[in-house]
């Protein structure tokens, strides 16, 4: 199993519409990826490690697939539509990491 994590940095002059992301963007990704997408998690950053500090990330999205190939086949076919939706909820450039789930 692999996890595709999408990180949205927190910082000054950044905008992130969590309501849009959770209720419109992620359901669109789920619909387009279909059964290849095994699970989804969305996290909202609320604080950093030090008491009272700002979070490093405004939001993180996690998509689980059986393999990199399953991700590429399902997401790749719709990547342009998914990426075109990003400006509807943020002015941030997302950072993407693909990880192998070990536990």
| Residue 17 belongs to domain with CATH number | 3.30.70.100
User: 10 Å Cβ neighbour count for 8?
Assistant: 23
> DSSP 3-state assignment of 74?
helix
Q: Are 39 and 64 in contact (CB under 8 A)?
A: yes
pLDDT per residue over 11-53, tens digit each?
Answer: 999 999 999 999 999 999 999 999 999 999 999 999 999 999 9
- Residue 22 phi, psi dihedral angles, 5° rounding: -75, -40
* Number of continuous H segments (helices) and E segments (strands) in the chain: 4, 4
Count of structural domains, the chain: 1
* Confidence (pLDDT) at 27: 98
Please give the model's pTM, rounded to 2 decimal places.
Answer: 0.94
Residue with tokens 């419109």: 24
* Confidence (pLDDT) at 81: 97
Instruction: List the domain range (segments joined by +) for residue 39.
Output: 2-100
pLDDT per residue over 49-69, tens digit each?
Answer: 999 999 999 999 999 999 999
Rounded-to-integer distance, Cα 16 and Cα 90, Å: 4
């Amino acid at each position: 199993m692999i996890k595709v994590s999408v990180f949205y940095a927190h910082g000054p002059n950044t905008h992130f519409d969590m309501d849009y992301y959770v209720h419109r963007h992620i359901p669109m990704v789920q619909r387009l990826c279909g059964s290849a997408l095994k699970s989804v998690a969305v996290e909202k950053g609320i604080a950093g490690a030090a008491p009272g500090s700002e979070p490093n990330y405004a939001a993180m999205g996690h998509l689980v697939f059986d393999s990199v190939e399953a991700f590429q086949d399902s997401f790749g076919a719709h990547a342009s539509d998914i990426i075109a939706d990003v400006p509807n909820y943020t002015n941030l450039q997302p950072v993407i990491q693909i990880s192998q789930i070990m536990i």
